[in-house]
Amino acid sequence: MNIEIDVASTAPEEDAFGLQIQWDRLIAMMDEVDAILLRTAFSTIVSESRDYAVILLDSQARSIAQSQICVPAFTCSLPSATRSMLDIFPPETLREGDILITNDPWLCHGHLPDFYIVMPIFHRGGIVGFIASAAHISDIGGSHDELKARDLYEEGLQIPPSKLYEAGAPNVQLIRIIEANVRYPKLVLGDVGAIVGAARIGAERYNAMLEEYGREKMDAVADFILRRSANAMRDAIAAIPDGEYLGKALCDGVTSPTNIVLKITVAGDTLHLDYTGTSPQNPDTAVNVVMNATHAHSLLALKCSLCPELPNNEGLFVPITSYAPPGSILNAQRPAAVQARSRTSFHTHTAIYNALAKVIPNAVQATSGSFWFIRFMCQDDEGAPFVVHMLPNGGEGASIGMDGHSTIAFPGCSMVTPMEIIEANGPVLIRERAYHPDSGGPGKYRGGLGSIMRIETKSDKPVHVAVRPDHTRYPSDGLLQGHPGGLGAVLLDGRPIEPDPFALQPGQMLTLHLPGGGGIGNPLERDRALVETDIELGLVSRRAAGDIYGYAGK
């Protein structure tokens, strides 16, 4: 999965300043591509939840720049997915105007709704780079029940690496196949069009930089970015004492819990993750993870701890390798069901930080309460099928020196769809959205709070709802004597229900309790002023302040 980079610096010191400016320009360019996609997308999952990423690859398909707000795990898997597509469509066979697409889970990020779209950038007759995009599209067919598929064939349309455009002309037959197999073709094809349009602007901007600086200079920029990033990560790893560090995580699973077992080996300036001992892949639920997604989520957690200040790019990941046994739930083999893979992959950070807390406690955080996924399925004003997505988030885990943020995505960067957008686009009313008191895991530094949401239909017809919750059985772990966060729950008219698709009837109330993040450090050591502030803001009850934090009041 990793690439080779010459770590020996060849750029004169006086050139480094100019190279840094060009790096910043590339990031600004990708921010523009990101903004165009955001503003032209059709679905709420892209335009509001921001479940997408756009990156710039060099001529060797190595990632060098990305937008500053995106789903970071996508950016870890996009380069390898691009290289896999180029194995099938070699660069020398591509023509200007060609655009590639696939949603193969074993090449991309682990489930069929993620469309990976790659556009070669041509300059003076040759390929000089690629604009690569990943986006969670609003539907891919298959069952509404995302948790209980038995294999990939129940989960929707598979698109092997294909040409979406050929020499600038759309592949009409492929587009017709997509249109015929999804429930919401306007949203799906609208988002595809937005991705293509944004990529074309990115290609124009990169060509302008090439005209200004020349290809040789831009190739030097790519080498500089990758080399500097790889060296920074090597330095960060070298600061960790050599050794083996064990971690674990226990996840909800579906019919049975999932155990993640991890051994991290640090040797000099390299780091290896070994998930041997993790639960086997599940034959009758969709919480299996492909190795690409396992590797990407592992890289994300390590990057956040070891090199948080550097922009994401592939150079950072050269010193890191990972392994999960084939047939385990973190290296599922075809044709395993993988639709709800985040219910497992989003817990790798728990095992990683559990292991590293023993040696670098200041660089880890407790477990976060993300990630939930909700769809409201209805009809639009013209009577056509329509869907509104929402990605509500639990609380973030605490870290030493900082409480966890409340209702924020980690690991990820998705946004909570605004209530006004949900109500304007769908037939539901959000009656309440508020912090859930005492849901943040107690600690010297408190975990972020989850929220309480109360939802009802504003239609005289039932609204079909699909919910993918997490941390409803096993809470977000605390670290270093910190306590776990509060559990999540899905309630219908006050009674717990299983996360199966259901019809929300007029007059019924759907209540969601989003889980809190874990705390870090001994709660009895929490600053008394912070406890008092938590009480005043309604984040912690007086009873919890007394029982857990030992607070006796003023």
**What tens digit of pLDDT does each residue of 414-455 get?**
777 788 888 887 788 999 999 999 999 999 999 999 999 999
> pLDDT band for position 313 (50/70/90)?
confident
Phi/psi at 326 (5° precision): -55, 135
What is the residue-wise DSSP string for 205-235? HHHHHHHHH-HHHHHHHHHHHHHHHHHHHHH
pLDDT at site 542: 94
pLDDT at 302 over 70: yes
Residue 221 burial (10 A CB sphere; 0-12, 13-18, 19+): buried
Spell out a b/e string for 251-289, using b for 16 or more CB atoms within 10 Å of the CB, else e. bbbbeeebebbbbbebeebebebbbeebbebbeebbbbb
Contact of 275 with 281, CB cutoff 8 Å = no
120: pLDDT strictly greater than 70: yes
% of the chain at pLDDT higher than 90: 74
In 3-state terms, what secondary structure has residue 491?
strand
Q: Which pLDDT value is given to residue 12?
A: 46
- The whole-number average pLDDT for the span 505-516 is 95
pLDDT tens for 227-258 read 999 999 999 999 999 999 999 999 999 989 99
User: Rounded to two decimals, what is the model's pTM?
Assistant: 0.92
Share of the chain above pLDDT 70, in %: 97
Is residue 4 very low, low, confident or very high in pLDDT (cuts 50, 70, 90)? low
Local confidence band at 488 (pLDDT 50, 70, 90 cut-offs): very high
Identity (one letter) of the amino acid at 125?
G
Q: Which amino acid is at 216?
A: E
Q: How many CB atoms lie within 10 A of CB 204?
A: 11
pLDDT band per the 50, 70, 90 thresholds, residue 373: confident
User: Which amino acid appears at position 363 of this protein?
Assistant: A
Cα(142)–Cα(158) distance, integer angstroms: 10
Q: How confident is the model at residue 21 (pLDDT cuts 50, 70, 90)?
A: confident
- What mean pLDDT do residues 378-394 have? 80
* pLDDT for 351: 97
Residue carrying structure tokens 């073709």: 185
Burial class of residue 25, CB neighbours in 10 A (0-12, 13-18, 19+)? middle
DSSP label of 152: G
The pLDDT tens digits for 197-222 are 999 999 999 999 999 988 888 888 88
Q: Are 59 and 35 in contact (CB under 8 A)?
A: no
Q: What is the DSSP string of 43-62?
A: SHHHHTT--EEEEEEETTS-
Instruction: Give bridge partners of residue 66 from the DSSP assignment.
Output: 55
Rounded distance between C-alpha atoms, residue 519 and residue 352, angstroms = 16
Confidence tier at 7 by pLDDT (50, 70, 90): very low
For 423, the enclosing helix (H) or strand (E) is helix 419-425
**Residue in the structure block whose two tokens are 């937005």:** 194
**Rounded Cα distance, 352 and 205, in Å:** 39
Please state, as a whole number, how many other Cβ atoms lie within 10 Å of the Cβ of residue 429.
14
- Tokens 């997490």 -> residue: 470
Q: Given pLDDT bands bounded at 50, 70 and 90, which one contains residue 3?
A: low
Amino acid 330: pLDDT? 98
List pLDDT tens digits, range 264-293: 999 999 999 999 999 999 999 999 999 999
Of the candidates 90, 99, 37, 46, the residue with the CA atom closest to the CA atom of residue 67: 37
Residue 86 or 461, more confident:
86
Give the three-state DSSP class for 246.
strand
CA distance 30 to 116: 17
Q: Which residue has the higher pLDDT, 419 or 509?
A: 509
Distance from chain centroid for Cα 315: 20
Q: Is it the case that residue 34 has pLDDT exceeding 50?
A: yes
For the cut 70, the answer to whether the pLDDT of residue 472 exceeds it is yes
- The predicted model gives 519-531 an average pLDDT of 96
- The enclosing H or E element of 375 equals strand 373-379
Looking at residue 432, its pLDDT comes to: 94
Q: Give the number of residues written for the chain.
A: 554
Q: Residues 423, 437: contact at Cβ < 8 Å?
A: no
- Three-state DSSP at 35 gives helix
Q: 141 pLDDT exceeds 90?
A: yes
Phi, psi of 449 (to 5 degrees): -80, 145
* Mean pLDDT for all residues in the chain: 92
Find the range with the poorest average confidence among 115-119, 290-294, 312-316, 359-363. Answer: 312-316
Average pLDDT over residues 347-365: 96
Q: Report phi then psi at 353, rounded to 5.
A: -70, -30
- Mean pLDDT on 148-164: 96
Instruction: Say which residue, 21 or 471, is predicted with more confidence.
Output: 471
**Which pLDDT score, from 0 to 100, does residue 378 have?**
81
User: Is the model's pLDDT at 92 over the cut of 50?
Assistant: yes
Question: pLDDT at position 1, please?
Answer: 44
Res 381: pLDDT:
67
Taking the C-alpha atoms of residue 485 and residue 527, their distance in angstroms, rounded to an integer, is 19
Buried-state track 93-130, b at ≥16 Cβ within 10 A, e below 16? ebeeebbbbbbbbbbbbbbbbbbbbbbbbbbeeebbbb
Q: Catalogue the long-range contacts made by 357-360 (C-beta closer than 8 Å, 24 or more residues apart).
A: 357/479, 357/480, 358/245, 359/240, 359/241, 359/243, 359/245, 360/240, 360/305
For residue 419, the model assigns a pLDDT of 83
Residue 238: partners with Cβ closer than 8 Å, 6 or more residues away? 268, 269
The pLDDT of residue 346 is above 70:
yes
Among 371, 372, 355, 397, residue whose Cα is nearest residue 485: 397
Given a cut of 50, whether residue 188 has pLDDT beyond it is yes
pLDDT value, residue 115: 97
Q: Which of 69-83, 112-126, 363-377, 461-475 has the lowest mean pLDDT?
A: 69-83
* Alpha carbons within 13 A on the beta-carbon side of 380: 13
Least Cα distance to 3 among 74, 69, 57 occurs for 57
